[in-house]
Chains A and B, each alone.
Chain A
Amino acid sequence: MAAGTGSGRTVSSTFSPVKVWLLLPSWLIISFFLALPVLLMLIYSFLTKEFRGGVIWEPTLAAYDRFIFDRGLFGDDPPKIEWVYISIFVRSIFQATGATILCLVIGFPTAFFIATRATNSKIIWLFLVTVPYWVNLLIRTVSMKFLIRETGPLNELLLTLGLVDAPLKLINTNFAVQLGLFYSYLPFMVLPIYAALERYNFTFSEAASDLYAPKWTILRRILVPIVKPGIIAGCILVFVPSLGAFLAPDLLGGAKTFMIGSLIEDQFKGAAGNWPFGAAASMILLSLVLIVLTYYARAQAKEQI
């Protein structure tokens, strides 16, 4: 993390033995509700599909094979690469990246604004950022749908103002999905960046300005590098859930905006599902996320040295 000025924290030797016991509840929850289900999914992804949902305990690579190869209707054609699922993945990555960039572009100035207010108004602004979270995500996403549909308030406003001649077709587009993701996850971007800016010592900016740096250079060379851990944390917190999101693409998007989250959701829903395939898709998604996070951790470690 960004090394501030000042010395490191000292750990009290009198109180340190307590630490182990305090971690026990977390360890229990992580093993039962995280490690075990993921392990179960990993096992399911290598099992055979049962027709009414569920699995048969016969190990096979069929789920992964189906994800990558097209072997025709009866499964005996020479294998070709299956682009359908790969393109869903690529689209998901694009959508999540877009949502992350949108969140960053809007979230950074917002966090900067809040961090530079007086203490009292800071609390109010932070409260306002979290207000949307008092409403269920489903309801928020549905409201967004009503807002941007062809006969919705947004289009009516644009038409009245004469900014457009015909209603904009926003619903069922990639843009709508991105808007939905952006709206869902914006606070996840604002809060970590705010926390980093809150620790930022504005004397650094004064020092840079004293050393003849103009305002934008201070932002680029001093402020952003120092609060970078906050920015990266915000990006991860937005990117990862956006990648697996299914509510926004289901409600705001159409068939052309299908994302991994929806694909996986469908495999476990109803009789048409394919549990091993859904599990395999989940595992591929998880690996993708882990690769990104490992890369980030490596880069961080390198910077520390």
Chain B
Amino acid sequence: MLQDKLMTKKDAISLQEVRKNFGNFTAISSVSFNISDNEFFTLLGPSGCGKTTLLRMIAGFEATSAGKIKLYGDEIENLPPDKRPVNTVFQNYALFPHMNVTENIGFGLQMLGWSNLEIDRRVMEMVELVKLNEFANRKPGQLSGGQQQRVALARAMAPKPKVLLLDEPLSALDLKLRKDMRSELKKLQRETGITFIFVTHDQEEALSMSDRVAVMSSGKVQQIGSPSEIYEYPVNRFVADFIGETNLLDATVEKKTRGELIICRLSNDQRVTASTNSSVSVGQSGAISIRPESLIMGKRPHDSTDLKGVLGQSTYLGTDTQFEIRLGPGLTVAVRIQNSVLNLENFRNGDQVFVHFADDVARFLVD
């Protein structure tokens, strides 16, 4: 029992069978996972998957329909937002328009009853941290989107929350700024040691910043893992399809071989070696997931396992070119190859090509 308590103490947030219904609609159906101290944890999923609802339940803006939310071991699901030692960075920042930068950042500290001297010191520290010294007396309306974003961050971090919740904080910024903010956020998280829970629908954001990512869809957590885990070893069709680009080919298990490798038959009767992490039986149907960049294409076959196909449309993407290759009726794969390793002149629409599957790049996903 004691050990159990010590274990949970380590987790910043612990969700236990958390559920949320809006009338008859189930927004979150029984979600359980833990987020460790100092972790950069991301909730990733398409819009409507319940990621923001989950974040709002941790913040206290939505009541839980069932289940427990623990913050460093203390149950917080029944506390109002102003009694929870977590702070939020809102999607559109929600900076108070009638207060200047300093007043916005100091608001939380004032509410916590800090002395004016302490507030001034902490606000200056935060203004310094987000590099807004020159703008301290401006109102939000006089700041650019990126500056407002920094104020929102500083305001949420000023009260030294145990956990910082970020609700798609970068979505309102333009691409260039968004990329800069990514590394800055990551740096801030490492420097302050605050646990970040970051909500986004942008997989690139999730992969580039997070320690761990929870991929969500229709109110359920589909997979939790490190960015490389969910990218390279997706557990199901949804995750494989949502994270990055992938070829999903219907397949049936034909033979189990050594270790995790299995031989699968595609719909055109060609065979592919794939890895799997779930126990499968011969004859089981599912899908094979292969990233376009993991495939190799050539005019001549590498070996006997290569698949023959006809080159379809090619799309120039700057550093890469993506080719559509027809392997058979209703069976097309996308192959992405760096332009620097390929002479584009040699590959024309209608050419016969060979596609090489390395053993460990194909993943078999059970339906």
Interface, chain A (partner B; CB < 8 A): 2-5, 201, 203-204, 206-214, 217, 221-222, 225-226
Structural contact, B139 and A3, CB atoms closer than 8 A: yes
- Residues of B contacting A226 with CB < 8 Å? 96-98
Structural contact, B94 and A222, CB atoms closer than 8 A: no
B151-173, CB under 8 A of A: which get 1 and which 0? 00001100100000000000000
Pick from B94, B98, B139, B148: contact of A207, CB below 8 A.
B94
Pick from A210, A212, A217, A222: contact of B96, CB below 8 A.
A222
Also in contact, A206 and B82, with CB within 8 A (given A211-B159, A212-B111): no
Structural contact, B94 and A2, CB atoms closer than 8 A: no
> Measured between alpha carbons, how far is A45 from B357 in the docked complex, in Å?
100
> Measured between alpha carbons, how far is A206 from B156 in the docked complex, in Å?
13
Top 4 nearest A-B pairs (CB, nearest first) are A211-B108, A3-B141, A212-B111, A207-B94
Other CB < 8 Å A-B pairs besides A211-B155, A226-B98, 16 of them?
A2-B98, A3-B141, A4-B97, A4-B141, A5-B93, A5-B141, A5-B148, A203-B92, A203-B94, A208-B96, A209-B60, A209-B80, A210-B60, A210-B87, A211-B107, A212-B83
Residue of A whose beta carbon sits closest to that of B87: A210
Structural contact, A204 and B107, CB atoms closer than 8 A: no
- Residues of B contacting A209 with CB < 8 Å? 60-61, 80-82
Structural contact, A211 and B140, CB atoms closer than 8 A: no
> Measured between alpha carbons, how far is A207 from B158 in the docked complex, in Å?
14
> Measured between alpha carbons, how far is A217 from B159 in the docked complex, in Å?
18
> Measured between alpha carbons, how far is A235 from B341 in the docked complex, in Å?
74
Residue of B whose beta carbon sits closest to that of A217: B111
Interface, chain B (partner A; CB < 8 A): 59-61, 80-83, 86-88, 90, 92-98, 107-108, 111-112, 139-141, 148, 155-156, 159
- Residues of A contacting B93 with CB < 8 Å? 5
- Residues of B contacting A225 with CB < 8 Å? 98
Structural contact, B92 and A210, CB atoms closer than 8 A: no
> Measured between alpha carbons, how far is A104 from B326 in the docked complex, in Å?
72
Also in contact, A210 and B59, with CB within 8 A (given A3-B139, A5-B140, A203-B90): yes
10 A-B pairs in the complex with CB atoms less than 8 angstroms apart: A2-B97, A3-B139, A5-B148, A206-B90, A207-B90, A210-B59, A210-B81, A212-B108, A214-B82, A217-B111
- Residues of A contacting B81 with CB < 8 Å? 206, 209-210
Residue of B whose beta carbon sits closest to that of A228: B98
Residue of B whose beta carbon sits closest to that of A224: B98
- Residues of B contacting A207 with CB < 8 Å? 88, 90, 94-96
> Measured between alpha carbons, how far is A211 from B140 in the docked complex, in Å?
17
Pick from A2, A3, A204, A213: contact of B82, CB below 8 A.
A213
> Measured between alpha carbons, how far is A223 from B148 in the docked complex, in Å?
20
Interface centre among A206, A211, A212, A222 (most CB of B within 10 A): A211
- Residues of B contacting A2 with CB < 8 Å? 97-98
> Measured between alpha carbons, how far is A210 from B80 in the docked complex, in Å?
9
- Residues of B contacting A221 with CB < 8 Å? 107
